[in-house]
Amino acid sequence: MLTERSLAVSRLALPMAQTAEPRGTRRGELPPELDDPLFATAQGQLDQALERAGVDEKIAEVLRYPERALAVAIPVRLDDGSLGVYPGYRVQHSSVLGPTKGGVRYDRGVTLGECAALAMWMTWKCALLGLPYGGAKGGVRCNPRALSAGERERLTRRFTTELLPLIGPERDIPAPDMATDEQTMAWMMDTYSMQVGYAVPEIVTGKPLSVGGSVLRPEATGIGVVMVVEEAVARLGGALAGSSCVVQGYGKVGAVAAHELDRRGARVVAVSDISGGVYDERGLDLRALDRWRAEHGELAGHDGALTNEQLLELPCDVLVLAAAEDQVTAENAPRLEARLVAEGANGPTSLAADEILAERGIPVLPDILTNAGGVAVSYFEWVQDIQRLFWGPDEIRGRLADLMGGALGRVWELAEAESLSLRRAALVTSIREVAAALESRGIHP
Ligand code: NAD
């Protein structure tokens, strides 16, 4: 039955059906709702990888667009009695391998095109790890810092209600992203559960432990980064223990990665947050640094201060980028002195910088591989919720190590066999996985 909601879904779902061209969108031409620089980048990366993936052109054309998208308007009663109406989106890129999976972000920059790009990257990330998921992403365009906790709760509950035609434990499973957290996921889980009449913990991941969250989920991305780095250093003929490491971004990913590097015997010589960095060639005392940060709220002002620009150019064995996008650019890439770069953040290296680093022989461990530990443990959370049987931290660490090590191995071997950069090899691996599944299933009807 076509309800008003399902009409909204189908209106945005079919970029090809909307154009004047009866045969669909011409290659290279974006339908207006996807005309966004980030989506153009995601499609550009796909097109580059397709040159080497050996995938049937018709199958490739399907993968260039998101399968389905929903745009909603979210009315929220604000604390001062007025009403705010916020645009929200959910985009599902591919359900070929299973339900879609991806974060929900609250940010002023959220657009349908941005969600579509991030959803496509989630498809590649899940396929690379061999998870039975496709990619999705969603968000609400708002200034989360201007909303009270009560306003955020009402926004989240109404947004979840609007998403009901799309989400579900077998269909699409949200998770936290920028400015959303465990509490947001608990509200989403509760709202969904109230609609169906019983508790459905497996509708979201990244929840608090009290409602079916998983141990190690908060630390998973940072730990996964270090698992990939350790294996890559070994493959390059070195050892992580004793290596000098620099970590840009000391947040949920970077701080965990720095402590994990330290735990494995590496020397963390510099870390930074948005206020600036701290450097000690002998290795930082991270616990003392945490106490300082807890007291002062930021790293700026600590002994050994340096700027983020200086930090990126420090000589080191491993540079972990765990802050934000576009940190290594054509401008600073020629001055980097790291022997290996690991992308803990999404998109921290620009396309131009990537080429410069490749020419300089500096390998880059790409984001869709390196920061996939978060979605891996989200998958474990979903599996535990479905079977109502929970695993301990050692079991989860072991399974995470197997997934990350397996993915790195596949990427490394393809890069060597076909003379590709690690990024290109990661994308080619993922695209081949999804394309093989799509080819087997065929195009319906
Ligand atoms: P966060 O907000 O917890 O931490 C970000 C850190 O980077 C903070 O210390 C912040 O001060 C610093 N920072 C921000 N902009 C900076 C800049 N321009 N220069 C220097 N430092 C800067 O965020 P997070 O969850 O750690 O995410 C970091 C990156 O990792 C993002 O790109 C995110 O998309 C990506 N990521 C996160 C996860 C996850 O599980 N949290 C999973 C996959 C990818």
Ligand 1 pocket residues where CB is under 6 Å: 221, 248-254, 272-274, 308, 322-324, 344-346, 371, 374
CB within 8 A of 324, min separation 6: which ones? 249, 345, 348
Q: For the whole model, what pTM was predicted?
A: 0.92
Ligand 1 binding pocket mutation candidate from 228, 252, 260 (most atoms within 8 A of CB)? 252
What pLDDT was estimated at residue 351?
84
The catalytic residue among 58, 137, 207, 252 is 137
- The answer to whether residue 17 scores a pLDDT higher than 50 is no
Whose tokens are 């994308």? That residue is 427
- The beta strand positions in 264-384, using DSSP E, are 267-273, 276-279, 305-306, 316-321, 338-343, 364-365
Specify the ligand 1 atom closest to the Cα of 371.
43
What pLDDT was estimated at residue 26?
63
What pLDDT was estimated at residue 7?
34
Q: Parallel, antiparallel, or unpaired: how do β-strands 316-321 and 244-248 relate?
A: parallel
Instruction: Determine the distance separating the centroid of ligand 1 and the alpha carbon of 360, expressed in angstroms.
Output: 27
Beta bridge partners of 87: 73
Closest by CA position to 205, among listed 87, 99, 321, 347 = 99
Q: Parallel, antiparallel, or unpaired: how do β-strands 338-343 and 364-365 relate?
A: parallel
Average pLDDT over residues 310-337: 96
Beta bridge partners of 92: 68, 136
What pLDDT was estimated at residue 27?
63
The full DSSP string for 261-273 is: HHHTT-EEEEEEE
Which residue has the CA at smallest separation from atom 24 of ligand 1? 252
Average pLDDT over residues 312-328: 96
Ligand 1 binding pocket mutation candidate from 214, 226, 228, 273 (most atoms within 8 A of CB)? 273
Q: Parallel, antiparallel, or unpaired: how do β-strands 100-107 and 134-141 relate?
A: parallel
Specify the ligand 1 atom closest to the Cα of 372.
43
Q: What is the pLDDT of residues 382-420, one digit of tens each?
A: 999 999 999 999 999 999 999 999 999 999 999 999 999
CA angle (277 as vertex; 273, 279 as ends), nearest 5: 140
137 is known as an active-site residue: yes
- The answer to whether residue 9 scores a pLDDT higher than 80 is no
Instruction: Determine the distance separating the centroid of ligand 1 and the alpha carbon of 322, expressed in angstroms.
Output: 5
Share of the chain above pLDDT 70, in %: 94
